[in-house]
């Protein structure tokens, strides 16, 4: 008989990176066979989302009583343990403090997976993370920098920390030329970025870099793949995207930048990444400890240019990519030009990222979580 675990997280169809992560993770764990997974969905508007059968019930993000009631429901169930996917912004209260009310009332053991760890947290951010860590039976991070921050900033004992990488689906790859033909990209060098678009992605720096690249390689196109982040769109509509579009017009490169403004299916993502020659993550936040989009690019074997945020430093070490200084448009442009000009270098990087990505498939990550759960909850 399979044991049961409940994940507290955002969940599809709510459009959120953590929702995608949790959906993929529970699929991988259930394929491993030992655990049955349920989802307790964090909803910004209860009964708004058409959840599938994996969702046991919802928590109203902004209703503190909903967290207490959820703990009581879990306590009365056959659930063996709870997995909390943590990001400050998906829980209610100051810096997501409402989640503490749930764990204070929870009688079942729980684990926490951290998607954000700040090296200089505010007092409230420190309090929330610290209290979550203290009661958790295990804390999971996706890269060694995250583990180091927990130990150094939050004084968490190393024995409590587990590093399990971010997983990626087994994306279907097509040849570069066939994929380019599908999207009318024949004859172009293709640079791309994907994910939810917002100021935190640093896309404006990449656009400015492309304006320099096309002076050397005029047959270059930059694909900005993905819709505006739903939280940003809710507040200001498409004004941020419109600013980016205007930037391309002001630079005179609107014919070299294509905006694909919708939520990509896995099939579309696989095709666009297959068509990509160089993948770029120009993120301006040095403290970012995980990036699902960079993980996907690794998984399909792309040559990568990135700013040196924490996760990129981890996964692109050992010459798996090119790191450039934050907000340094010239360095980005020069690195892209270098990769366009040097096909052999591009190919070497592709081989290294593809080899690294083989260990990130969800099938392997699912087993890592299964073994962890078995070791700490079954013995």
pLDDT digits (tens, 9 = 90+) for 247-298: 999 999 999 999 999 989 989 999 999 999 999 999 999 999 999 999 999 9
111 forms bridges with which residues in the sheet? 83, 138
106 forms bridges with which residues in the sheet? none
Q: What is the model's pLDDT at position 36?
A: 96
Q: Which residues of the chain have pLDDT under 70?
A: 1, 379
User: Contact at 8 Å (CB) between 255 and 245?
Assistant: no
CB atoms within 10 A of CB 101: 19
Angle between helices 329-341 and 203-216 (to 10 degrees): 50
- CATH number of 201's domain: 3.40.50.2000
For residue 35 the two structure tokens come to 């655990």
Q: What is the model's pLDDT at position 178?
A: 95
Q: What is the dihedral of CA 167, 171, 175, 180, to 10 degrees?
A: -90
Model confidence over 349-372: pLDDT tens digits? 999 999 999 999 999 999 999 999
* Domain identity same for 194 and 122: no
Q: What is the model's pLDDT at position 33?
A: 86
- Quote the CA–CA distance of 306 and 313 in Å, as a whole number: 9
User: Contact at 8 Å (CB) between 276 and 302?
Assistant: yes
* Domain identity same for 128 and 261: no
User: Taking CA 91 as the corner, what is the angle to CA 88 and CA 95, rounded to the nearest 5 degrees?
Assistant: 45
For residue 96 the two structure tokens come to 């997501």
- Quote the CA–CA distance of 171 and 43 in Å, as a whole number: 29
Place of tokens 């205007």: 246
- Quote the CA–CA distance of 324 and 332 in Å, as a whole number: 6
Q: Which helix (H) or strand (E) holds 336?
A: helix 329-341
- The two beta strands, 3-9 and 81-86, are parallel
- The two beta strands, 35-43 and 55-60, are parallel
Place of tokens 């005029």: 218
User: Contact at 8 Å (CB) between 81 and 53?
Assistant: no
- List the domain range (segments joined by +) for residue 289: 176-360
- Quote the CA–CA distance of 295 and 98 in Å, as a whole number: 30
* Domain identity same for 108 and 195: no
* Domain identity same for 162 and 189: no
* Domain identity same for 223 and 338: yes
CB atoms within 10 A of CB 292: 20
* Domain identity same for 353 and 208: yes
User: Taking CA 272 as the corner, what is the angle to CA 360 and CA 174, rounded to the nearest 5 degrees?
Assistant: 75
User: Contact at 8 Å (CB) between 102 and 70?
Assistant: yes
* Domain identity same for 74 and 123: yes
* Domain identity same for 147 and 101: yes
**How far does the chain reach from its first CA to its final CA, in angstroms?**
16
* Domain identity same for 211 and 317: yes
Q: What is the model's pLDDT at position 46?
A: 84
How many Cα atoms are found within 13 Å in the side-chain-facing hemisphere of 365?
Answer: 25
Q: What is the model's pLDDT at position 377?
A: 85
* Domain identity same for 140 and 193: no
For residue 359 the two structure tokens come to 């260990």
Q: What is the model's pLDDT at position 1?
A: 65
Q: What is the model's pLDDT at position 311?
A: 95
Q: Which helix (H) or strand (E) holds 223?
A: strand 220-225
Q: What are phi and psi of 92, to 5 degrees?
A: -80, 170
Q: What is the number of domains present in the chain?
A: 2
* Domain identity same for 68 and 88: yes
- What size, in residues, is the chain? 379
Per-position DSSP letters for 78-143, written without gaps between them: ---EEEEEE-GGGSSSGGGTHHHHHHHT--S-EEEEES---SS--HHHHHHHHHHHHH-SEEEESS
- Quote the CA–CA distance of 21 and 364 in Å, as a whole number: 15
* Domain identity same for 99 and 85: yes
Q: What is the model's pLDDT at position 171?
A: 84
């Amino acid at each position: 008989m399979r044991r049961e675990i409940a994940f507290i997280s955002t969940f599809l169809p709510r459009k959120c990176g953590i929702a995608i992560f949790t959906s993929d993770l529970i699929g991988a764990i259930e394929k491993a066979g030992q655990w049955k997974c349920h989802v307790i969905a964090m909803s910004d508007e209860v009964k708004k989302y058409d959840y599938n059968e994996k969702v046991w019930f919802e928590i109203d993000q902004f209703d503190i009583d909903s967290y207490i009631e959820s703990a009581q429901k879990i306590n009365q169930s056959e659930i063996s343990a709870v997995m909390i996917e943590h990001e400050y912004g998906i829980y209610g209260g100051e810096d997501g403090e409402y989640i503490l009310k749930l764990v204070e009332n929870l009688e079942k053991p729980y684990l926490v997976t951290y998607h954000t760890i700040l090296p200089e947290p505010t007092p409230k951010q420190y309090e929330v993370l610290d209290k979550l860590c203290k009661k958790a039976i295990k804390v999971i991070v996706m890269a060694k920098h995250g583990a180091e921050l927990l130990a150094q900033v939050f004084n968490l004992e190393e024995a409590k920390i587990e590093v399990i990488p971010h997983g990626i689906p087994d994306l279907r790859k097509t040849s570069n030329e066939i994929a380019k033909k599908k999207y009318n990209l024949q004859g172009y060098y293709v640079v791309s970025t994907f994910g939810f678009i917002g100021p935190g992605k640093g896309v404006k720096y990449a656009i400015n870099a492309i304006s320099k690249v096309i002076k050397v390689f005029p047959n270059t196109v930059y694909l900005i793949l993905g819709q505006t982040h739903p939280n940003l769109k809710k507040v200001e509509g498409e004004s941020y995207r419109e600013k980016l579009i205007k930037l391309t017009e002001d630079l005179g490169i609107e014919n070299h930048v294509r905006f694909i403004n919708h939520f990509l299916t896995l099939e579309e993502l696989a095709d666009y990444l297959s068509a990509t020659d160089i993948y770029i993550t120009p993120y301006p936040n040095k403290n970012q400890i995980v990036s699902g989009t960079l993980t996907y690019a690794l998984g399909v074997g792309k040559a990568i240019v990135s700013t040196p945020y924490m996760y990129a430093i981890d996964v692109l070490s050992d010459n798996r990519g090119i790191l450039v200084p934050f907000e340094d448009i010239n360095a980005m442009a020069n690195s892209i030009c270098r990769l366009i000009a040097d096909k052999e270098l591009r190919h070497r990087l592709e081989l290294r990222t593809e080899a690294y990505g083989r260990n990130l498939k969800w099938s392997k990550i699912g087993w890592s979580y299964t073994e962890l759960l078995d070791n700490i909850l079954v013995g």
